[in-house]
Each structure stands twice: as structure tokens, then as C-alpha cells.
Amino acid sequence: MVNTLRSRVEAAGAQLAFGLPRPVRRLIAGRPIQVDGQVLSLDAQLLLRLQQFSGVAMSKRTPELARQVLARSHHLVSGAPIEPVGKRELTIPDDNGGIPATLYTPQGLPGNSGLLVFYHGGGWVIGTRESHDNAARFFAKYAGVRVLSIEYRLAPEHPFPAAADDAVTAFEFAYAKAQDLGAAPDRIAVGGDSAGGNLAAVAAQVMTGRGGPAPAFQLLLYPGVDASTRRRSRELFGSGFFLTDADMTWFIDHYAPTGTDRTDPRLSPLLTEDFSGLPPAYIATAGFDPLRDEGEAYGEKLRAAGVPVAVSRQADLIHGYVNFLGIGRRFREATAEAAGALRLGLSGLK
């Protein structure tokens, strides 16, 4: 990404806004917002106000333009690269020309460590390893694991089930090549945010259903897990809270166009019949997120099947918060909780 003068000015402006005294930030953000018994954090409300000024809306753009906007803008909120974390580029072999991936290794981490196979968010249409670079770095450093970030195929060029297939292939590769990656094969987690959380859940289900090898842990951050049903949270938070109802329709129509069976568990993993035997999970939802209710329903089904699961609602936050590590404090706090869950989830596995 070319870091233009405009981009640098915009980034400086965002930092300035979040560095202002709290009363001034509150004045810019407006009066506190309360919905469904939840109060939106000042950091999230200020970010939404800045988004209103920018006029960014995925559903009003073509996929190509939406990707260009993300490439130019993600650094505004992601922050300076988290160090010291090493990076190594590699390619996962498959039948479609290979899946690009990046291996992140925090400084001083010994071999035979835990590893997170990470799938970025972006509605299966936008998002890249680069857009989620700092999120991957954060989990590597603060969970004390290696992170293998995956560049799965995007829609509409590659509609469902291409991304799901790539997610499974990536886990199979990580398990088979664990020693080469510096990881222990029985300490490999799958995880991701939003659409990436969907792919992580799908990979865990597919591998478990085959009888293994299966992931040791699932890190599901505000995942989309049911493309077949509109839940209450989508009605409550479908406008004005970063991810909109129109955005969700735009994303799913590109990934699973008309004629796709949206009840297929590889698209809607909440609808799978058998949850028994799935790996332990940490599921984070955001209170002001249209996806909130389906993520929590996924946790309920895991729990009912006897799967160890922690469901943590970040009641004052919006969708996408792991990408906002460079501004305010609240987004980083919530992401730190997820990193702690990942560390704990892999720590007792030998």
C-alpha cells in the first residue's frame, strides 16, 4: 500500500481526535447512545462519528473499489506495527495455484509452540493478510503463539465454498507441517474475526466430522454463523453501528449468490446437526453488532453439546474491533481478553 500524504494526514487526524481530553471527545461524539440496555463506549462512538464524516459504506461500492478503500484506510485505525514479531511469507499447496500465507513469530518464542491458523474478516469479499496484519501481530505477541494468517480466495470471483475449502486446506497444511512451522501439532487453534470466524468454525466442524485431526481450540470473534435467518440484533443494530444491514446483504449476495443453499453448514455452521466433539471455544460478540445474537446462539449450541465454551459479550463495542488497535483503549482491552483466552486455551495442551 502506498502511504500517501493524504493517508498520513488522515491517520494523524484520527490520533489527534482520540488524544483529545475526554470532555472534548464526548462533545464530538455526541450524547451517550444506549440500546437494548447497553451503553456504547466513547471510543466506539467517536469512531462512528469519524466514519460518518468519511462517508465509507461497503454496500455502495463495487468489490474492487471496496478493496481499494480498505487498502488505503485500514492503517488509520490499526496502529503502528506491533513489535518484536517476525514475519515469513509462504505458500500453502493446493489444486488452485497455492494459498498465500504469512507466519508470524514473536521474538523469543521457542519451538514446539502453539499456533493459530488465522482467517481475516471482510465478508468473504474484502480483507487481506495486510489489512489484519496488526491483529495477527497482536495475537502472536500477547498470546505467545505463532500465527499463520491465510489469504483465502475472495468472492465474487471465487464464491462459496471456495473460502471454506481454503480454510480447511490451511488447517490440514498447518497440522501436516507443524514441525516445519515451529509448532506442536496438538496445539493448533483456528480463529478469525467476522467472516474469518465463520471460516474457523467451518474448519473445526469439517475436521472434527472427518474424525480428525482437529483443531485444539477455536477463537471466534464476532463470527457470522447463520446466513439463513435474520435475528433481533440485526434489526436493532443494522444501521449506524459500522456493519450495516445493507453491508451484510451485499457481502452474502457476493459470497453465496442466488441459488446457493444458505442452510449448508459450510456457510451457516450454526445449522450443523451434531456439535459433539468440537474443540473448546472462546466466542466474543459485540453488543452493538448485527451478528451478536447468532454468535451467542453458536455458543449455546456448543455448551448444550458438552463442548467447553466461553462466550464473552463486549457489550459496549461494535463489529470489527480487533482492527481498531491503534485508537483509544477499549478496542485493545477487548482484543487482549481474546488473546488471553487463546493463550489459556492452548497452554494446557502438550
Residue 90 lies in a domain: yes
In a domain, 199, yes or no: yes
Which residues are catalytically annotated?
194, 289, 319
The number of distinct structural domains making up the chain is 1
Residue 5's pLDDT is: 58
Cell, residue 42: 466513547
Q: What per-residue confidence (pLDDT) applies to 6?
A: 61
Task: Please give the pLDDT value at position 133.
Answer: 98
- Cα 120–Cα 123–Cα 126 angle in degrees, nearest 5: 70
Per-residue pLDDT at 54 exceeds 80: no
Q: Does 197 reside within a domain?
A: yes
- Split at pLDDT 50, 70, 90, the class of 48 is very high
> Is 120 part of a structural domain of the chain?
yes
Q: How far is CA 243 from the centre of its chain?
A: 13
Give Rg (Cα) of the chain. 19
Helix ranges, the chain (H): 5-19, 22-29, 42-54, 63-73, 75-78, 133-143, 162-176, 178-181, 195-209, 232-237, 245-255, 292-304, 330-347
pLDDT in tens, 167-201: 999 999 999 999 999 999 999 999 999 999 999 99
Chain centroid offset of residue 85 CA: 20
- What letter would DSSP give residue 16? H
Is residue 135 within 8 A of residue 331, CB to CB? The reply is no
Residue 24, domain member (yes or no): no
Domain containing residue 95: 81-346
Identify the CATH number of the domain in which residue 175 sits: 3.40.50.1820
pLDDT tens by residue, 93-144: 999 999 999 999 999 999 999 999 999 999 999 999 999 999 999 999 999 9
Full-model pTM: 0.95
Distance CA 208, CA 213 (A): 7
What pLDDT score does 2 carry? 44
**pLDDT reported for residue 11:** 72
* DSSP for 68-135, written as a single string: HHHHHHTHHHH-SPPSSEEEEEEEE--TTS-EEEEEEEETTPPSSEEEEEEE--STTTS--TTTTHHH
> Residue 348's pLDDT is what?
62
Residue 28 inside a domain? The answer is no
